[in-house]
Amino acid sequence: MPTRIFDKRHAAPGTAPGTLRPSAQRVERVTIHVIRYSPEDFDEREVASLEECAALAPPAAGGVTWIDVVGLHDIELVARLGDTFGLHPLALEDVLNTGQRPKLDEYDDHLFCVLRDFHGGETLISEQIALFLKPGLVLTLQELPGDSFEPVRERLRRGRGRIRAAGADYLAYALIDALVDQFFPLLEQQGERIEALEEELIAAPTPETLERIYRLRRELLLLRRAAWPEREVIGALRREETALVGREVKLFLGDAYDHAVQVLDILETYRELAGSMLDVYLSSLSHRMNEVMKVLTVIATIFIPLTFVAGVYGMNFDRMPELHWRWGYPASLLLMTAIALGLIVFFRRRGWF
């Protein structure tokens, strides 16, 4: 089954804005993963409920809390999250409406991004990531278990580099950067498919080649639909005049922005190649048809006149003087050879074989 382009998970038209409806894929159990850290401390745990989460001691001054919720079908939980952390109802609606386009909304005391995470494999599966940034707090909500954030968690655990010393804005950057960088292996995969298709196209195109080209274009469209607005989100974050994102982090966002531009650049190149491939496929089909037709034409046009000659001397007229000639039979064979040779010369001259 090919990847779906349109998530059938929109609200019924006309419902009030901010109405929370479940639309995400159902996971077995909603999990809440909490990481709290400061340059010195690191604490990671899975909590059973929001209450437990709220009951955790706040991180040390300057520390950061990252709450990662996996599973979005528990509307109650999301609503209470909104209450607990003062999140805007419109943003909460977008969290649940999982077919969103990546975007950035700025609210009074928090930023809200919608981003997308991809799960590779045979079929590309795209999952919506909602990210809230408040002072000292990053809140991410995802549909499905498994994400691109594991390396960031690893960096936090090891505590090396800048990440434990920096604030929540740096963590948000690191998460966004991980989502952008995940495009590279996906692109590499698509690049390999392109190279395989190119060889297939030249060597022996089949209808499966056509289907594969179509699928490739479809997936490139899907990737571009995510990559394009994510670039805008990062660009907007860089320009945003907000105290939530520090000057230092904006420099790093510039780096992530360059990566997003590079992703789009490669995607465009791939799209152009995929477009050319379809032309090549069609041309190559036409060429093969030409070859087939040439063989048919050469054989048919050589033998059809010969068969006619044989037919003539197979007629049963009483008076056909040739039939009684001494050399009639060899002469007829000679005639046929001459006709055949004449046609062969004709085709040679046309360069048909």
Range 225-264, binding a copy of itself (CB under 8 A): 225, 229, 251-252, 254-255, 258, 261-262
The reply to whether 13 sits near a copy of itself by the rule CB under 8 A is: yes
Site string for a copy of itself, 106-145 (x = CB under 8 A): ----------------------------------------
Nearer to a copy of itself, 241 or 279 (CB): 279
Report the residue from 20, 34, 75, 105 that binds a copy of itself according to the rule CB under 8 A: 105
Whole-number Å distance between alpha carbons of 132 and 57: 20
Whole-number Å distance between alpha carbons of 137 and 141: 13
Minimal distance in Å, beta carbon 56 to a copy of itself?
Answer: 25
| 234 contacts 260 by C-beta, under 8 angstroms | yes
Tokens of 103: 């975007």
Q: What are the phi and psi torsion angles at 114 (to 5°)?
A: -105, 130
Whole-number Å distance between alpha carbons of 320 and 332: 13
Report the residue from 30, 42, 80, 352 that binds a copy of itself according to the rule CB under 8 A: 352
Tokens of 226: 């995510």
Site string for a copy of itself, 263-302 (x = CB under 8 A): --xx--xx-xx--xxxxxxxxxxxxxxx-xxxxxx-xxx-
Mention every residue, 6+ apart, whose C-beta is less than 8 A from residue 87: 81, 107, 110, 112, 132, 139
H-state helical runs in 132-182? 150-158, 168-181
Minimal distance in Å, beta carbon 292 to a copy of itself?
Answer: 5
Number of residues that bind a copy of itself (CB under 8 A): 125
The reply to whether 45 sits near a copy of itself by the rule CB under 8 A is: no
Q: Which of residues 73-102 bind a copy of itself (CB under 8 A)?
A: 90, 93-94, 99-101
Report the residue from 15, 49, 123, 337 that binds a copy of itself according to the rule CB under 8 A: 15
Strands, sheet with 125-134, edge to edge from the N-terminal-most edge strand: 42-47, 31-37, 64-70, 137-142, 125-134, 111-119, 103-106
- Of 136, 2, 118, 137, nearest to 69 by C-alpha is 137
Beta carbons within 10 angstroms of residue 112's beta carbon: 22
Nearer to a copy of itself, 58 or 313 (CB): 313
The reply to whether 146 sits near a copy of itself by the rule CB under 8 A is: no
Using DSSP, state whether 20 is helix, strand or coil: coil
Whole-number Å distance between alpha carbons of 203 and 223: 29
Read off the DSSP letter of residue 56: S
Report the residue from 30, 79, 221, 236 that binds a copy of itself according to the rule CB under 8 A: 221
The reply to whether 217 sits near a copy of itself by the rule CB under 8 A is: yes
Minimal distance in Å, beta carbon 187 to a copy of itself?
Answer: 6
* Element spanning 48, H or E: none
The reply to whether 55 sits near a copy of itself by the rule CB under 8 A is: no
Nearer to a copy of itself, 261 or 344 (CB): 261
Give the β-pairing of 103-106 and 64-70. unpaired
Nearer to a copy of itself, 137 or 194 (CB): 194
Beta strands in 38-110 (DSSP E): 42-47, 64-70, 103-106
Minimal distance in Å, beta carbon 51 to a copy of itself?
Answer: 27
Report the residue from 196, 202, 341, 345 that binds a copy of itself according to the rule CB under 8 A: 202
The reply to whether 349 sits near a copy of itself by the rule CB under 8 A is: no
Site string for a copy of itself, 301-330 (x = CB under 8 A): x-xxxxxx-xxxxxxxxxxx-xxx-x-xx-
| 210 contacts 200 by C-beta, under 8 angstroms | no
Nearer to a copy of itself, 49 or 301 (CB): 301
